[in-house]
Structure 1
Amino acid sequence: MTASIPTLDIQRFDTDREAFVAELGAAYREWGFAGIRNHGIPQAQIDRAYDVFQRFFALPEDVKKTYHVPGGGGARGYTPFGIETAKGAKHFDLKEFWHVGREIPRDSKYADVMPPNLWPSEIPEFKEVAYGLYTALDQLGSRVLSALALHINLPVDFFADKTNFGNSILRPIHYPPITADDIPNVRAGAHEDINFITLLVGASAAGLEVLSRKGEWVPFTADADTIVVNIGDMLQRLSNHVYPSTTHRVVNPPGEAARKPRYSTPYFLHPNPDFLIKTLPGCVDAGNPDRYPEPITAHEYLLERLREIKLV
């Protein structure tokens, strides 16, 4: 029997904090993944967001491509089908996507690395709906980080001033129907995420698989009321692998299911661009020596990784 990835009730962070933090920390140490339910984001808000995103992806190709920013690394707006490629993969992923970033004052010290958002004029409510979901997931992510901080003996608000201007991204994704058999591409090749944590809301179909410590691919299709939250490479590095960033993929479904589109919306929670990713002293000991003696800023690390996946 393959072990399953835990799903936990985040309301227990307020009602049963010590036990919740211990269980959540244990889940992440083992899997790098957990399901979060009772997260407080109304299903109606999620459904409305998916409706808006699907309407955008249904627009004609030439319209969507007017929102593509050449040389922008996909940071904002539209990234067409056939560009992003998992690190080390031979074939591009079978997806197109849109990026929403944090709205910041244009005189901010981060303005040069956090460009303004683009909004499709063809769908007037896109901005309100997409940024509303962005904000809700940002707040939920902050609660998860608070619990993770407590688990490794940091103050509950340790991450607050390190993520308040985080270069975080909401990414609505469309995986089109697969119309040919035996293609070498997959919807999303095996990869790890770049950021602190990723929150995946409302994947519309099965396909997500997580690589266990035993080397087995474990399907993780969460219930409708559950948001999947996983550790990214930046938090793995900061925590010296106490919190592992686990390899995962989105596989092509068998048979007729492949002829249907798939939609998902991850939120990639990043630290502030100038945050220095330097191994936490409390995560270093004789059995777990510092793997990363050279610190790196979050923005420098992001650029390194974007080059690897062919977005810049």
Structure 2
Amino acid sequence: MTIHTKPAHLPTIDFSKFHGSAIERDAFIAGLTRVLHDHGFFYLTGHGVPQDLIDDVLAVSKRFFALPEADKLSTEMVKSPHFRGYNRAGYERTRGEQDWREQFDVNTEGDAVEADADAPWNRLHGPNQWPAALPELKPLLLRYQSEVTRIGIDVLKAIALALGQPENAFADIYEPSPSQLLKIIRYPGRDAAGSDQGVGAHKDGGFVTVLLQDTTPGLRIRTEEGEWIEAPPVPGTFVINSGELLELATNGFVKADVHDVVTPPSGTERFSVAFFLGARYDATIPVIALADELKRGERGVTVDPLNPIFRKVGINHLKSRLRSHPDVAAAHHADLLHLLEQPADA
């Protein structure tokens, strides 16, 4: 496959300015408004996450993926009705095609919640799986999850201000318990994968994504014009991008941009840690009344028959997990597969 991309030119935003002087904060918010409308992807510096925690999380991720297969499969996702745990490469799908990455998923640590026909998304609540062979994984990932949750909520507050709204405009739909999906990911080289699709072209389903990249490139973003921009790793930064919930809330002023990951070259591998901040499962996404100067930039919500977007957060997240993990869906949720045929209500 021939890949045509432009050199990286995603903007870099220093988040310390958001907590700086009034002048710095105002300039930060004005710049963020432009970025959100242009493509919603940017590098974030000044985030305050300790470098030793970042290093430790990447190191423990590599130790996890180096475990014997039996130890990783002790937490295989198909054992969890809550879509938590380990997936071998090729077991997650994007638009029906296999993604060649192995990964380990955790979400908010908690107890299972009784679900019924009116709230099927309650099946997503529950405990995480943790490998007995690597006991340090749990405390490190939960500490990191807490840190990137802080970043995600702070970024969401800044986004609210950039949209001319009160800082806590989104709080009613994420408090007291946002979705906190965290993935540690390994992409094998092309010789092992046999495919260029590390992750197929898609949009993220939550509010914002906080992505930590190691050292190997592969992330690409598709512009409105259909061109691809590379977003290689930049030390000390996270890549932030807006998700479908913000597209819904702003009638497309903020776009959830399509992106993918290209399989690394033969003989190499790529590691990343992706965090997806989402709303409460029982929330419904409203349409924000933007000021006239912003309202003129509304582009409407994307209509994709293969990936409809729902205003009911729980349905939106549940249909995404059912579609991405057909083995878990078949094992635990065969009675919910009709949701994949439900038309979008956006």
CA contact (8 A) 1:239 1:283 kept: no
Aligned pair partner of 1:306 in 321, 337, 343: 321
CA contact (8 A) 1:24 1:34 kept: no
Residue 100 of structure 1: CA displacement?
A: 1.5
Q: Deviations over 1:248-275 (max 9, x none)?
A: 111134xxx4311111001011101111
CA contact (8 A) 1:93 1:185 kept: no
Residue 178 of structure 1: CA displacement?
A: 2.6
Residue 94 of structure 1: CA displacement?
A: 0.7
Matches within 5 A, 1:130-141: 130-141=141-152
3-state SS of paired residue (1:75): coil
| 1:155 equivalent in structure 2 | 166
2:301 is equivalent to residue 296 of structure 1 = no
CA contact (8 A) 2:113 2:123 kept: no
Matches within 5 A, 1:45-194: 45-70=53-78, 72=80, 75-87=83-95, 89=96, 91-104=97-110, 112-164=123-175, 165-179=177-191, 183-194=194-205
3-state SS of paired residue (1:99): strand
CA contact (8 A) 2:250 2:298 kept: no
Q: 1:286 to 1:20 in 2, by over 3 A?
A: closer
CA distance in 2, matches of 1:288, 1:5: 22
CA distance in 2, matches of 1:105, 1:69: 17
Q: 1:192 to 1:203 in 2, by over 3 A?
A: farther
- Counterpart of 1:178, as a letter, is R
TM-score by length of 1: 0.89
Aligned pairs, number? 305
CA contact (8 A) 2:189 2:266 kept: yes
Specify every segment of 5 or more residues in structure 1 that has no aligned partner in the other structure, as ranges. Answer: none
Q: 1:268 to 1:300 in 2, by over 3 A?
A: same
Matches within 5 A, 1:176-215: 176-179=188-191, 183-215=194-226
- Counterpart of 1:115, as a letter, is G
| 2:343 equivalent in structure 1 | none
CA distance in 2, matches of 1:21, 1:295: 28
Relative to its length, the structure with more helix (as a share) is 2
Residue 68 of structure 1: CA displacement?
A: 1.4
Identity over aligned pairs, percent: 29
2:41 is equivalent to residue 33 of structure 1 = yes
Residue 71 of structure 1: CA displacement?
A: 6.6
